[in-house]
Chain A
Amino acid sequence: MDQQRKHTILMVSDFFYPNFGGVESHIYYLSQCLLKLGHKVVVMTHSYGKRTGVRYVTNGLKVYYVPWRAFLMQNTLPTFYLTLPIIRTILIRERISIVHGHQAFSTLCHEALMHARTMGYKVVFTDHSLYGFADVGSIHMNKVLQFTLADISQAICVSHTSKENTVLRSGITPDRVFVVPNAVDTAMFTPSTCRLSCDEIVIVVISRLVYRKGADLLVEVIPEVCHLFSNVRFIVGGDGPKRVRLEEMREKHSLQDRVEMLGAVPHARVRSVLISGHIFLNSSLTEAFCIAILEAASCGLLTVSTRVGGVPEVLPDDMVVLSEPDPGDMVHAIRKAIVMLPSIDPYAMHQRMKKLYSWHDVAKRTEIVYDRALQSSDENLLRRLPRYLKCGSWAGKMFCLVMIVNFLLWCLLDLWQPVESIEEVPDLVFIRNEHEDVVHDSI
């Protein structure tokens, strides 16, 4: 069996630690598992407050916090060409072989992929969310995505629904899109050691209280369920603009003793909140994958969720009860879940989740995508330009112009600062001994 080729991967996104979220944890866990497989991974993101420069996180994962300020919702200011020098420097000094961008909403990702393609690197893109087609924001976003995916080596989506959505939005051929689902850290999300009694049923909701996550549905569903079932209690964790509506609902129906509002729950405390309940309720209106229900299932909770986006693909039928995003249907689903509850064994559920989802499996599948990406042929600018022309009658020509200018700027930068003048970074080897961590370098 021939040796697997080891890659040097640059993960680019606007979303990374110290921000917490689905994309952030995906990049972190995937990078850690790729490091364990023997590849070298470097992450590039923008600076967060005073956190700028180079940082090392667990297992020597190097993170570049490039001092470009975020301007809107954690996104870097889109400057088109100004990020070319720093991206070129990082790609050369770290000896990168593949650039992996995350999240269509990240401007830094799009710029990095554009510059990497101009310089001839192989690029992979992962899309984490579903987007619409109708409103102005979505139309603009889809056009940008079309530009990025016109000349990509491979793309990854987190569910089949997400693949369909990405293919329709960007016009990329489906055979270049792989489906690699997210996973959950089952070692961190374990069920409670003592089983909760079924006298009082606790339903847990942890999500951002925004429109997209169905907070308005909760406002309708909670009073109805409390009225129908006297032994049901709710725990609501999370914060957002819709929190006010939930508080008003509590006041109006006098549910202060039956609905507990926890506010924002730090990620480290999510497990302790989950294990205090029997059922997990997810009311999202749109979801490409939904890691939250994976975490709940790993903790042994039965899930009730809306049947939207990629949610039906996530859990087996005996672990989840699906309903339409309608209050009446959700109440009916909660009733069904309460009936199912005695037959649920949290430990058995946790063991099944361990087998079904693991980040190591995700890393191995992503490795296959990288191998496929590296097999694609190197092409010069003239062969690549026709792909951009297909993006639209006006847009196509504009995209071609953007790429030509990018290519010229890259040539100019090559003259100003030749490749030989950029030093490569020596590899750091981390050695652990029992008493302390010691860094040994190969200088």
Chain B
Amino acid sequence: MMSEAPIFHSKYSYHHDGKAQQLDIHEILVKRSRLGIFLSYSMVVVFLGTNVYFVTTKVFCILILTFFEVNIRSIWSILVCFLLAKFLHYNPVKKERVVIMPAFGVQLETHYWSGRIVRLFVPISKILSSMLNECVTPVTCYWSLALLLRDEGELMLVFQLIRSVQKLQPPLKMLVPVWKALRAAINCEETSIT
């Protein structure tokens, strides 16, 4: 199997390695933003600072809401909200990997920046099909790749293995080759059984 050219995006990049010993490996790497890390740590510092400030002022001052106090509080709240929003962009996931072993199964791996790797193996006999779903939330729409499993009520998501604040939402053009490869593997298995 030939490797396809890598696909690049502002936040993600896709790589495919089809030559390694019968295995079909698809990877989506998440680009790390240094600004995101800095802001997430500063947000923590600011949060702690705000709490300490309020605790100390409560101890020494009477709780009358003067105009000056309201201004300070508003600025703090705005700063906190801004940094919280930025924190949501920070992601501890380094890359997600799908290893397709024909006639055997599919392994879903999540690699973190801290070095931890979470692996999940799904035998090929358990997979009925793979599908691309359009998901609609109250504010946006995105595509997700899911596996339909035998005797299971829920779909298994391929690229949302961890309960992170920012879920992995790779663009459709990266999900399509993985979906096609999964379908090919499942169809091969069905024809070999029948």
Contacts and interface: CB of A to CB of B under 8 A. Distances in A.
Contacts of A327: none
Contacts of B153: none
Interface residues of A, number: 20
Contacts of B172: 423, 426, 443
Interface stretch (B21-29, B59-67, B75-83, B131-139): B131-139
A86 B141 CA distance: 7
Interface string A31-70: 0000000000000000000001110000000001111100
Contacts of A66: 136, 138
Interface in A61-105: 64-68, 82, 85-86, 89-90, 93
Interface in A427-443: 443
5 contacts: A53-B133, A64-B141, A67-B138, A85-B139, A426-B172
Given A421-B10, A423-B171, A67 B137 contact: yes
Nearest to B132: A443
Contacts of B143: 423
A54 B144 CA distance: 13
B140 interface: yes
Please classify the interface of chain B as helix (H, G, I), strand (E, B), loop, or mixed, using the class held by over half of its residues. Answer: mixed
B176 A86 contact: no
B117 to A, nearest CB: 29
A85 B173 CA distance: 22
Contacts of A85: 139-140
Contacts of A90: 141
B50 to A, nearest CB: 25
Contacts of A67: 136-138
A64 B141 CA distance: 10
Nearest to B136: A53
Nearest to B85: A416
Contacts of B176: 443
Interface in B125-158: 133-141, 143
A243 B194 CA distance: 60
Contact of B138 (A68, A93, A443): A68
Interface residues of B, number: 15
Interface of B: 10, 133-141, 143, 171-173, 176
A93 B135 CA distance: 13
Interface of A: 52-54, 64-68, 82, 85-86, 89-90, 93, 417, 421, 423, 425-426, 443
Contacts of B134: 53-54, 425
Given A425-B134, A426-B172, 7 more contacts: A65-B136, A82-B138, A82-B139, A85-B139, A86-B137, A421-B10, A423-B172
B173 A86 contact: no
A16 to B, nearest CB: 15
A53 B134 CA distance: 7
A423 B173 contact: yes
A53 B135 contact: yes
A245 to B, nearest CB: 42
A146 to B, nearest CB: 28
A436 to B, nearest CB: 15
Contacts of B140: 85-86, 89, 417
B168 to A, nearest CB: 15
A426 B172 CA distance: 10
Contact of B141 (A68, A82, A89, A426): A89
Most B C-beta atoms less than 10 A away, residue of A82, A86, A417: A86
Given A53-B134, A54-B134, A443-B176, A86 B171 contact: no
A93 B10 contact: no
A168 B171 CA distance: 49
Contacts of A86: 136-141
Nearest to B180: A443
A93 B136 CA distance: 12
Nearest to A79: B138
B88 to A, nearest CB: 12
B141 A52 contact: no
A54 B138 contact: no
Nearest to A413: B139
Nearest to A421: B10
Contacts of A89: 139-141
Contacts of B137: 67, 86
A68 B173 CA distance: 29
A52 B133 CA distance: 13
Contacts of B133: 53
